[in-house]
Structure 1
């Protein structure tokens, strides 16, 4: 049981990185941003830099709630009528047609700048290591990749290159690296420095 702080996430490597941020003197925003960058790699089917995020903070000493809206806006022409006119009885659940402008990356940058104490480069260090060195595939990720394998190969070849080495679903325990995210994250971290 901790007395001075805690973190939690959906992957142990992200939680370890967030805890280390707190131990190194960071605040809750530093830990949260650190874990988010890690989760974009560790949970690619649930979290993404090109996704959305609502961020809700509570500052107990000030009894103040802060909300940062990382929900991307929909394109102006994305109306129900437009979808119906283009043959969609329902708005599709994925793909480019229903996509919004990604809001999560910007929301975390704003939150870190306004309320964090670490630099962006410092926050991104654990994610850079995970992207470069890889992480062990876990059963849920393997199952997800098994379900989307054919679609990745036929519709999203760049995703297939990253998540389906040799066009195969990786085995549990196999290291999964993401050199593209490593390059992208490194460029962002280097620009900030």
Structure 2
């Protein structure tokens, strides 16, 4: 197990359990804050797409198992969210000040729409208006959490060094 995994795993586990037990019961203006998604986006921005996808998969399985939901549904959504947030962090300057809130905003909307689409494809009888209505208040709450959580995750997990990306290129050249 790598050093990054030993730092990421406890953070993801604790936040997943807090999300299921505490944050999911907190309703503000019709939405709930998704601290797990914000932590996942921060991990992906700081550590890359592979770490983001792996953390998203584990977090999704934990949430699915804890809520007794359809196994793999949240895992699929969070795996894709972690991967794409990590790709955003790898292809743009992850040190940019606007990267965390921009990634959180985009991923929150995409996970909301993707979750609605996935429910529809699985044959759930939920109306799109009902499932998409909490996305905007949840987006506002997630944006409020973006900077503080990103700073905390940076302290707990650390940031991947810039030369880690270049090492593979040097071998090929």
Fold shared, TM-score > 0.5 on shorter chain: no
Greater percentage in helix: 2
Greater percentage in strand: 1
TM-score interval, normalised by the smaller of the two chains: 0.3 to 0.5
Structure-2-length-normalised TM-score: 0.34
